[in-house]
Amino acid sequence: MQESEYIQRLAGGSYEVFDYFYLKYAPLVESFSTALLKDKSLSEDICQDVFLRVWQRRKSLRGVRSFKAYLFTMVRHAIYDHYMRNRIVPKDSNIMPEDLPELFGGDLSREEDVRDMLLLVNLTLEAMPEQRQRVFRLSRHFGLSNAEVAEKTGLALKTVEYHMGKALSQLRELGSLF
């Protein structure tokens, strides 16, 4: 049977075709979502939601030629929807372009890359626990030493060192994206 025939049967409400598409594509949806979300159980939920929506909107499949391409638009929508709801709004730049070479070694040549990198760095910082952000900012913006940061925040020196280490290593992870 041709795929187009399967699609028409699904649009007509065939449970068997639904099961067939599910068994064939659900692993793909899950692995694709996991690659983008880095969260396996969230990806499994998204996969279930997507297929439920495919079923609920099966009538709109009549004009569809490739099920896989149709599925992509559904999956993309679900993932974007999740990220929109959990969106971090970048505040005023905490990290300036001139800070980048120090953090990543400075081989960002294209202007577009600098823009993306700056956005990602600031978003990553924004995603960190509040205490870690505070420690990092005091150290970066005011040039305080770890001991001074500890004094100013009332945190133990060990805690400050831990947060600084974590913040730097998480930001450096971004270096591998470019």
Contacting residues toward another protein, per CB under 8 A: 13, 15-20, 22-28, 31-32, 35-39, 41, 44, 48, 51-52, 55-56, 68, 72, 75-76, 80, 82-84, 86-90, 110, 112-113, 115-116, 119-120, 123-124, 126-128, 170, 173-174, 176-178
Give 43-104 as a DSSP string. HHHHHHHHHHHHHHTGGGGGG-S-HHHHHHHHHHHHHHHHHHHTPPPP-S-SS-GGGHHHHH
Q: Given the complex with another protein, which of 16 and 102 has the nearer CB atom?
A: 16
CB of 5 to another protein, least distance (A): 13
CB of 169 to another protein, least distance (A): 9
CB of 123 to another protein, least distance (A): 3
Nearest to 21 by CA among 62, 55, 45: 55
Nearest-angstrom CA–CA distance, 99 and 106: 9
CB of 146 to another protein, least distance (A): 21
